[in-house]
Structures are given as C-alpha cells and as structure tokens.
A and B are shown apart, each in its own frame.
Chain A
Amino acid sequence: MTRLRWCGGIVKIWRDDGLPKDVPMQITESNLAYDTAAQYMQPFGALWLADYAGSFLTVCGKALFYYQ
C-alpha cells in the first residue's frame, strides 16, 4: 500500500466520522525527530517528507506545516 492510499484512507475515515466536507483539513505540525532514529536525518527523511507532503495534498489536504 502506498503512502497516498494511507493518507487517503485516513482522510476518508475523518469524513465518514462526520467531519463536514467544507471543513478544510490541515496538518499543522509534523516532522521526523532525531531521537527516534538517526536515519530520519539522512535521505530517508527527505524521501518521507516529499512523499508525505505530496500524498496529503493530493488527497485534498489544504495545507501542511513543518514544525522545527
């Protein structure tokens, strides 16, 4: 399953649970922090960020913010 399908599935669950369609969805704070795995600072982190940002925006996310 791709990250796009994961994001799409989560968005659908929120809508199915009653979030009105006209309420925009945003991710207001996200990152991969160093203390979980050093690999997050390496190319894996770059791939994750690109894939996750593209996925969320493709499934109708309105905005996302990287928390530093």
Chain B
Amino acid sequence: MYRGCGGWGTFGMFNVDANYDVTQDTAQFFSAQMLTQEWVDPVDESHFVYPASTDIKDSHGHVLVTAYSVRRPDKQWSLLLVNKDQANLHSVVVEFHDSAKHSNHYFQGTIRQVSFGGGQLCLACEGTERICPSGWSGGDLRSERG
C-alpha cells in the first residue's frame, strides 16, 4: 500500500493513511460497485451480454458514448452507458432491435437509473477534510414510452 497525500491504495480502489487504514474510496471502487451491484445482478448465475452501440461521435468520428447491454437472470435488461465526453452530457434514445422479427422495442414502465461521474467524487489529501460527496447516485425514472 502507498500512504499519504498523492499516494493511493496499491491497486486502485482505496486511499490509505499512515496506518494503512482506508481513508477514501477511489473512482475505480465506485465503478466496480456499479458494475457488480447495479449493471449485473449480484448473484452467481449466468448473464447474457448482447451487442450494443451508439452513434454519438465527435467531429473526428471517435465514439464518445459506448453502450453494453446485458440480460440479467432476474429477466431485466440492464444497459451500461459510458460517456467519455467529460465536459458534456448527451441525451440518448434507447432502442432494442430484434433482428429476427425486424422490430424495435423500448424500455417500459419504471427504469432504475444509476450514475457516477466527476461530480460525485472528490479526492482529498491526507490531513484535509473531505467535504465533497462521493459515490454513485441512483433513482427511478419513468419511461416516456411506458
């Protein structure tokens, strides 16, 4: 483990103090939590991953928002959207395409949305007070088509 201001837990999830006690969770910790507790169902069962894509690109054709979809064992669809455009929000319309039936489908009813970004993380050096909120946030949305 690495101690002190400017030092971080060895492999990325925690910052520690002089006694090697965890003082702060880092961004990879929260990302791992979202992946394992929210995107997928936190149970020891198979999940099925389906290809997903977005058309949100910058002027050079770089994909700014990537998408990953999974069908969970609890029968829910779960969509992971990664916005790599740090300074801008992007609106999305989510379509599920059934290639066998040549039809599109949409979320219906209540959708649980969980997010994590720079606004939810503030790294504090040892000896300073952490005043920023940390962690991911979540809430229920109502599908406009539901």
Question: Contacts A49-B32, A53-B35, A66-B32 hold; do A3 and B86 have CB atoms under 8 A apart?
Answer: no
Determine if A42 is an interface residue (Cβ-Cβ < 8 Å).
yes
* Nearest chain A residue, comparing its CB with the CB of B116: A46
Chain B 12-46 near chain A by CB (<8 Å), digits 1 or 0: 11110000000000111011101100000000000
Contacts of B84 in A (CB 8 A): 47, 51
Give the size category of B's interface with A: 35 or more
Q: Does B51 contact A (CB under 8 A)?
A: yes
Residue numbers in B under 8 Å from A40 (CB-CB): 8, 12, 28
B80 / chain A contacts, CB cutoff of 8 Å = 50, 54
A55 touches B30 (CB 8 A): no
Stretch from B90-98, B101-109, B117-125, B137-145 contacting the other chain:
B117-125
Question: Is A33 on the interface with B (CB-CB < 8 A)?
Answer: yes
Are A41's CB and B26's CB within 8 A?
yes
Across-interface contacts of B8 in A (CB, < 8 A): 34, 38, 40-41
Confirm or deny: B77 has a beta carbon within 8 angstroms of a beta carbon on chain A.
no
Contacts of B32 on A, CB cut-off 8 Å?
49, 66
- In angstroms, how far is the closest chain B Cβ from the Cβ of A42? 5
Cα distance A68–B28 in the bound complex, in angstroms: 10
B86 cross-chain contacts in A, Cβ below 8 A: 43
Q: Which residues of B contact A54 (CB under 8 A)?
A: 66-68, 80, 82
Given A43-B121, A46-B27, A46-B28: A58 and B12 within 8 A (CB)? no
B133 on interface, CB distance cutoff 8 Å: no
Q: Could you tell me which residues of chain A, from 20 to 68, have a CB within 8 Å of some CB in chain B? A: 31-35, 38, 40-47, 49-51, 53-55, 57-58, 66-68
Which residues of B from 61 to 93 have beta carbons under 8 Å from A?
63, 66-68, 70, 80, 82, 84, 86
- Chain A residues engaging chain B, CB cutoff 8 angstroms: 2-4, 31-35, 38, 40-47, 49-51, 53-55, 57-58, 66-68
